[in-house]
Amino acid sequence: MNIIETQGLTRDFGKFTAVDGVDLTLAEGEIFGLLGPNGAGKTTMLRMLTTLLPPSRGEAHVAGYDVVRQANQVRRVIGYVPQLLSADGTLSGYENLLIFAKLYDLPRAQREQRIHHLLSIMGLEDAAAKLVKTYSGGMIRRLEIAQSVLHAPRVLFLDEPTVGLDPIARASVWEHIQRLREEFSTTILLTTHYMDEADELCQRIAILHHGQVAAIGAPAELKAGLNRNGVSLDDVFSHYAGGAIEASGSYINVSRTRDDVRRIR
């Protein structure tokens, strides 16, 4: 069963087309990666699928709901972790989760069990009473993911979930993302610039270039498609996106990313 479907999904900003006629399907329960250089349309895709930005043309359905005509229903079945910091550093991890539980209107009888279960799954039980401003970057990211799944969403959107984290923290976040999928059969759509992350986590990936899908498939299939030995996902990315991963991005992109990194370290 497909839980996400798009047909000709397009978003224009004036004369610039950020997402250009994308057809995409995601099966229920899979982890799917959106790759591409800065400006390729990854975040714009996520913003349309999460109802934060209306498409200019085309259609998108999440869990059977139209993202424009049934936006409220879509919001009830999704979780979203943006690049920007979404946890309050002046509150404890438990208090952050309690606020989100109330925002999601979880029944009072379910809140405590749900909060403590997620703290356990995300490896944060021992830090539940500590202020989030004392957390490491990896702990903050795991808390933000816990916040986003308190209402048991069918689809979880992660925008650059490990940006700025060291390799150990990144590996920890990967482990907990996989635990969520295994325990709740959550469909996960993530964007990333880390090729090893996409290779490790994703059953399938799509590489966006100039707002269009340049390639789609399982990482192993895409690597095999280049028909040479020793191919990495970096090679696949360079082949389809022109090796633009380091050369792309504006001053604003760089500034925002570095600000994000500074705040979660």
10 Å CB burial of residue 242 (0-12, 13-18, 19+) is middle
Q: Which residues of the chain have pLDDT under 50?
A: 244-258, 260-265
Name the token pair of 14. Answer: 């004036």
What pairs with residue 208 in β-bridges? 213
Task: Compute φ and ψ for 25, nearest 5 degrees.
Answer: -135, 140
Count of all residues that appear for the chain in the document: 265
- Around 152, how many Cα atoms within 13 Å sit in the side-chain half-sphere? 9
**pLDDT tens readout for residues 143-196:** 999 999 999 999 999 999 888 888 888 888 898 888 888 888 899 999 998 999
Per-residue confidence (pLDDT) for residue 131, from 0 to 100: 97
Per-residue confidence (pLDDT) for residue 177, from 0 to 100: 86
Per the CB < 8 A criterion, the answer to whether 77 and 155 are in contact is yes
pTM listed for this prediction: 0.87
Per the CB < 8 A criterion, the answer to whether 254 and 164 are in contact is no
Per the CB < 8 A criterion, the answer to whether 138 and 165 are in contact is yes
Per the CB < 8 A criterion, the answer to whether 177 and 184 are in contact is no
Per-residue confidence (pLDDT) for residue 254, from 0 to 100: 39
DSSP string, the chain: -EEEEEEEEEEEETTEEEEEEEEEEEETT-EEEEE--TTSSHHHHHHHHTTSS--SEEEEEETTEETTTTHHHHHHTEEEE-SS--S-TTSBHHHHHHHHHHHTT--HHHHHHHHHHHHHHTT-GGGTTSBGGGS-HHHHHHHHHHHHTTT--SEEEEESTTTT--HHHHHHHHHHHHHHHHHH--EEEEE-S-HHHHHHH-SEEEEEETTEEEEEE-HHHHHHTT-STT--HHHHHHHHHTT-TTT---HHHHHHHHHHHHHH-
Per-residue confidence (pLDDT) for residue 13, from 0 to 100: 96
Per the CB < 8 A criterion, the answer to whether 181 and 101 are in contact is no
Residue ranges of domains in the chain, CATH in brackets? 2-264 (3.40.50.300)
Task: Compute φ and ψ for 143, nearest 5 degrees.
Answer: -65, -45
